[in-house]
Amino acid sequence: MVKFPIYLDYHATTPLDPRVLGAMLPYLTEHFGNAASRTHAFGLRAEAAVTVAREEVAGALSAEPREIIFTSGATESNNLAILGAARAGRAKGDHVVTSVLEHRAVLDPCRQLEKEGFRVTYVAPDRHGVTSADAVAAALTERTILVSVMAANNEIGTLNPLAAIGHLCKERGVLFHTDAAQAFGKTPLAVHEVGVDLLSLSAHKICGPKGVGALWVRSLNPRVKLDPILYGGGHERGLRSGTLNVAGIAGLGAASRIALAEREAEEARVRALRDRLQLRLCAEIAGAFVNGGGAERLAGNLNIGFPGVRADGLMMDVRDVAVSAGSACTSATPEPSHVLRGLGLSPEEANVSVRFGLGRFTTEEEVDAAAERFVAAVRRRREAGTPRPALPPK
């Protein structure tokens, strides 16, 4: 028997893996020390947990532990990377390149840089939703100091060619940041192979706790310099002051270790479930179209449009399956998703698109039950004769 409600919104957040909770609990109870209190056993115990976690996160990136800066999540990591690198590089130039498909946690710091006098170019994706190295190359100028392009998109799941963009940036002497909140733990991300200089990640997207993440900062060739965005006790090599969230960091470490160990098997399993869901919805719902379907995508992502049936209404009909219309992060605003619009969809096409996110605890039974409910709900809405005619197939 399937248990309702079914959670298929893994891009918004993920359930905490019980193994991760197990790794965190001691640091919420008996080992409550401050990791900066090196003068006694309580502090040393906490510091030891942070050291292990730093190795685990670095290990998942094939990086050095000292290059990991713990933060409150990918939003903070993106702010530190973008504001920090641009402000520290001001003497070299004043131009930043990013893409129109980025998460708000990248776009908004870029807007802030514009207020500070930087110029920002927002590169458009190709028709599949991919930001190509050629498009980035065309945007570079003599004054460019930073490129920020996400590893995997949080709405349509498309993967960007990081290695090609990294190669280009290296050639031009420009720093390359990637928001890997969705890709970390799900795609191979050895930082030296993909050629990035700064990488943001978040625990709660990989079955870890909310409110903790990290920024990887390259320490060699080049040694990346950042201006901090928080000032205080000088924790995390002066880049992120504030008492460390020891339990959260222990959770991020465990989540990273588990994701690394199980990534390949998990990816295949989740991809098979996603393909099953996609096949069934496309077979049983006339005109269904997959956003980003022409590109390499995250295994657990399915962003799909059902012509003539608005996603918000559909989600009300299928309340016991948790999915998302557009991006959960921006769903407080009624406008159609900037990602779907950036992909070239009309407002109508964007408004009929639903995002399914599958992950570690998703089962075949859940996928089948979800498909059945969505197929039935779309048919009901269409038979009820929505005045809006079905869009022509693309």
Ligand X SMILES: *Cc1c(COP(=O)(O)O)cnc(C)c1O
Least separation in angstroms between CB 149 and ligand X: 11
Residue nearer to ligand X on the CB measure, 93 or 213: 213
- Token code pair at residue 250: 């222990």
**Candidate segments 70-78, 162-170, 339-347, 351-359, binder of ligand X by CB under 6 A:** 70-78
The residue with its CB nearest to ligand X is 73
150 binds ligand X (CB under 6 A): yes
73 binds ligand X (CB under 6 A): yes
- Token code pair at residue 306: 């059902």
Residues 94 to 133 in contact with ligand X, rule: CB under 6 A: 103, 105
**What number of chain residues touch ligand X (CB under 6 A)?**
14
String marking each residue 178-207 x if it binds ligand X according to CB under 6 A: -x-xx-------------------x-xx--
Least separation in angstroms between CB 286 and ligand X: 31
240 binds ligand X (CB under 6 A): no
**Candidate segments 23-31, 51-59, 176-184, 257-265, binder of ligand X by CB under 6 A:** 176-184
How many Cα atoms within 13 Å fall on the side-chain side of residue 241? 9
Least separation in angstroms between CB 181 and ligand X: 3
Residue nearer to ligand X on the CB measure, 198 or 369: 198
CA distance 144 to 169: 10
Least separation in angstroms between CB 171 and ligand X: 26
Least separation in angstroms between CB 40 and ligand X: 32
Least separation in angstroms between CB 13 and ligand X: 7
154 binds ligand X (CB under 6 A): yes
Residue from 169, 207, 282, 329 carrying the catalytic annotation: 329
9 binds ligand X (CB under 6 A): no
**Candidate segments 56-64, 69-77, 309-317, 342-350, binder of ligand X by CB under 6 A:** 69-77
Provide the residue type at 10 as one letter. Y
Least separation in angstroms between CB 283 and ligand X: 30
251 binds ligand X (CB under 6 A): no
Q: Considering only residues 213, 248, 326, 359, which one is a binding residue for ligand X as defined by CB under 6 A?
A: 213
Annotated catalytic, 282?
Answer: no
CA distance 197 to 162: 11
75 binds ligand X (CB under 6 A): yes
**Candidate segments 17-25, 54-62, 124-132, 177-185, binder of ligand X by CB under 6 A:** 177-185
* Residues in contact with ligand X by the rule CB under 6 A: 73-75, 103, 105, 150, 154, 179, 181-182, 202, 204-205, 213
Active site residues: 329
